């Protein structure tokens, strides 16, 4: 599938990101970000049995994949390994809120540049 960033697939890759990367928690997801990999952006997605059965876990991972595609698809930042971990709210959270959670977590981790706020200094 063209345009899809490479995936983290091996357990040791997930453990390396979890052990050495930054962790940012949001209501809809947990982001683990490891900078300085020197290669293209790589993504991993995971959901534990704690959030529910197979149907709930698969739905949560599908929503995380789509949120990542919409957020990072146009211009993926180089040199990062990212793991998106589903939380209990991931499967049921409104999708716009899930997108906002991901964007905020990416900014906080330094993956994407901070948003420029318009300052209302009219006085």
Is 71 a domain residue? yes
Is 122 a domain residue? no
CA gap 102, 3 in Å, rounded: 19
Over its length of 123 residues, how does the chain's per-residue pLDDT go in tens digits? 346 778 999 999 999 999 999 999 999 999 999 997 778 999 999 999 999 999 999 999 999 999 999 998 878 888 999 999 999 999 999 999 999 999 999 999 988 877 665 555 554
In which domain, by residue range, is 72 found?
11-109
How many structural domains are present in the chain? 1
CATH code, domain with 95: 3.30.230.10
Question: How many separate helices (H) and strands (E) can be counted in the chain?
Answer: 3, 4
Q: What is the pLDDT of residue 56?
A: 95
In this structure, what token pair is assigned to residue 90?
Answer: 């991931």
Residues 29 and 105: beta-carbon distance below 8 Å:
yes
Is 123 a domain residue? no
Is 5 a domain residue? no
């Amino acid at each position: 599938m063209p345009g899809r960033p490479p995936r983290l697939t091996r357990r040791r890759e997930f453990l390396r990101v979890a052990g050495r990367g930054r962790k940012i928690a949001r209501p809809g997801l947990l982001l683990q970000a490891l900078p300085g990999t020197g290669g293209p952006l790589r993504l991993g997605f995971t959901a534990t049995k704690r959030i529910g059965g197979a149907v709930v876990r698969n739905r949560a991972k599908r929503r995380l994949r789509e949120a990542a595609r919409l957020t990072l698809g146009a211009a993926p930042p180089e040199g990062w390994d990212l793991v998106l971990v589903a939380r209990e709210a991931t499967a049921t959270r409104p999708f716009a809120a899930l997108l906002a959670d991901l964007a905020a977590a990416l900014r906080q981790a330094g993956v994407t540049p901070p948003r420029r706020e318009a300052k209302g200094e009219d006085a």
